[in-house]
Amino acid sequence: MDHVAELTSLSTKITSTIGGLAIIWTMFRQFMPYDIKRYLDTYIHKFTSYISPYDCFVIEEYAGDRMNRHDLYIATKAYLSDHCSRRARTCRIELGKDSDRFLVSIGERVEVTDDFNGARIWWHAHMHQPVSNQYSGRQSQEERRYYTLTFHKRHRELIEGPYLRHVLDKGRAITVRNRQRRLFTNNPYTEWSSYFKPMWNHVQFQHPSTFDTLAMDPTKKQEIIDDLNEFRRGKEYYSRIGKAWKRGYLLYGPPGTGKSSMITAIANFLEYDIYDLELTTVKSNSELRKLFIETTGKSIIVIEDIDCTLDLTGKRNSNKSKEEEEGDGSDEKNKRKYRFDDEDKKKVTLSGLLNFIDGLWSACGEERIIIFTTNHIEKLDPALIRTGRMDKHIEMSYCDFESFRVLAHNYLGIKSHKLYEKIRRLFEEVKITPADVAENLMCVGYSKVDAGVYLERLVKTLMERKEAVEEQGKDGIVDEVYKNNVSNGVELK
On whether the pTM is more than 0.85, the answer is no
Q: Is the pLDDT at 463 greater than 90, yes or no?
A: yes
Residue 174 is predicted with a pLDDT of 83
User: What gap in Å lies between CA 368 and CA 186, rounded to an integer?
Assistant: 17
User: What gap in Å lies between CA 373 and CA 348, rounded to an integer?
Assistant: 18
- State the Rg of the chain over Cα: 33
- Write out pLDDT tens, residues 103-160: 677 777 778 889 999 999 999 888 876 555 444 445 445 567 889 999 998 999 999 9
- Write out pLDDT tens, residues 446-459: 556 678 889 999 99
User: What gap in Å lies between CA 389 and CA 135, rounded to an integer?
Assistant: 64
Q: Range with the lowest mean pLDDT among 241-250, 281-290, 334-343, 378-387?
A: 334-343
Q: Is the pLDDT at 164 greater than 60, yes or no?
A: yes
Q: Which amino acid does the sequence have at 352?
A: G
Backbone angles phi, psi at 449, to 5 degrees: -130, 175
Residues 6+ apart with CB under 8 A from 459: 419, 422, 423, 426
Q: Is the pLDDT at 80 greater than 60, yes or no?
A: yes
